[in-house]
Amino acid sequence: METGSEEMGTETSLDAFRAGAVQFLSEAVDAGEACPAYGAILVPALHERARRWQRYCYDGGWAGLHWPAACGGRGLSRDHTGVWMEECERAAVAPYLNLQGIVLAGEAIMRTGTDRQREQFLRPTLTGEMLWCQLFSEPGAGSDLGGLGTSAVPDGNRFVLNGQKVWSSNAQFAEYGILMARTEPDAPKHRGISFFLLDMKLPGVEVRPIQQMTGDREFCEVFFDDVSMPADALLGERGGGWGVAMAVLEDERGGAGASGVISLRKRLSKMITAAGETGPLGRQSLADLLARGSALAALMELHGADPRMAPVAKLANSELGYDEVEIGAGLRGADAMLAGTETEAFLYAPGMRIAGGTSEIQRNIIGERVLGLPREPSP
C-alpha cells in the first residue's frame, strides 16, 4: 500500500476509524475520485470508474480492512469493515469494486485456498486489477444448484470443462470466475461438485451478454467447450465444492449488515415524503410499505448478526423493493412509462426476487433451516 495506511493502522478504535473513514470519503467525493453506489451488481457503465475507485481505496489503506496484512489488507476486525460499509452507504459511495470479488471470491480463498492461491489472487483482487464473476446458476439449475450439469472431468493434471452458466454478472469484464462444476458424476448430487477459480481467458470460454428490459447488459451466459483447466484451479477438496459454495452464499446473503439498515432507512424516509404528496389511496399503500419496512429495519438492527436472519432479510427486502417500485409507478401514472431512473428501477425490480436465490427458495430455507419444518417434498 501507499504511505498513509501505516499511520492509520494504529487507529483501531471504532470511533477513530469511523472518523477517518468519514474524512477519506468526504475528500474522495470532493475530489471526484469516489464511485457512486450501485448495489451488489456492478453497472457496466461504471466498470472502469469502479476499478479506479477500488485502487484509490487500496492505495489509501481502505480496502480489505479485515483481511490479513500479508494479503494486502489492514488486519483489522470485521467490525471495522462494518463501519466502512455504513459510512459508504451514508456517503452514497460504492464500498468496493464488486461483491463477487471482494466478498465471495476473496472470503472463499482466504478460508479455503492454498498459500499459493492466496498469494496469487488476494492482493490483485483488492487493488482492482482482478475482477471476478460468479459461475453458479445454469439454465436447468438456478436456485437448485445441486442439480447443476456443467462437468469438469479429471484428465491427468488438468480438468476438462464443458457446460453452460447463466445470469453471471460482469462476466464480459471479469478476469476470473468462481465456478461450481460436477467432477464425480456417480456421487450423490451434492457430493460430486467441486469449486474452481476459473481463468476467463482460457480457450473455449465464451461469454454472451444478455440484454435486459432496462436496455443494459449486466448479466451474461457463459459457455464452456472443452476448456482445459489446470489442477490448481481447484479450491478446496475435489468433491467438496458444495460446502465451499454454501459458505460463499452465506457471505452473499449476509453481506449487507448494518449498511443494509441505513439504505432501508433512507428508502423509508422517501416513502414518508411521497406520502405527503399524494392522495388517500396512495397514502394507504405507502403506509403499508412503511410498516413492513420499519418492521424489517427493526428486525435487522436487533438480530442482524444472527446468520439465520440472512434469508429472512433477503426475502423481506426483495419483496418490499418490488412492491415499492410497483406502487411508485402507480402513483406516477402515465409518467411511469417515460425513460428515467425511476422507470429503470421499476424494470429492474422483478430480477431482485430471483437474484441471490429466488423468493420461493428463501421461503424454503426459512421453513426448513430456520424454523425446522419438514422438507418440501421432492418430485
Distance between CA 58 and CA 51 in Å, rounded?
A: 11
Classify strands 158-165 and 151-155 as parallel, antiparallel or unpaired: antiparallel
Distance between CA 266 and CA 285 in Å, rounded?
A: 18
8 Å CB contact between 309 and 300? yes
Classify strands 132-135 and 205-210 as parallel, antiparallel or unpaired: unpaired
206 is a catalytic site residue: no
Distance between CA 165 and CA 228 in Å, rounded?
A: 17
Residue 82, sorted as left (phi over 0), alpha (psi -120 to 50) or beta, turns out to be: alpha
Task: Give the SS3 label for residue 181.
Answer: strand
Query: How many CA atoms lie within 13 Å of 320's alpha carbon, on the beta-carbon side?
Result: 24
Task: Give the SS3 label for residue 53.
Answer: helix
Task: Identify which of 136, 102, 111, 101 has the alpha carbon closest to the alpha carbon of residue 357.
Answer: 136
Distance between CA 352 and CA 344 in Å, rounded?
A: 13
Query: Residue 30, exposed/middle/buried by CB under 10 A (0-12, 13-18, 19+)?
Result: exposed
Distance between CA 332 and CA 318 in Å, rounded?
A: 21
CA 202 from chain centre, in angstroms, equals: 25
8 Å CB contact between 26 and 95? no
Partners of residue 207 on adjacent β-strands: 222
Total residue count of the chain as it appears in this document = 379
Residue in 119, 252, 301, 368 annotated catalytic: 252
Classify strands 219-230 and 176-182 as parallel, antiparallel or unpaired: unpaired
8 Å CB contact between 61 and 1? yes
Distance between CA 116 and CA 132 in Å, rounded?
A: 18
> Known catalytic residues?
252
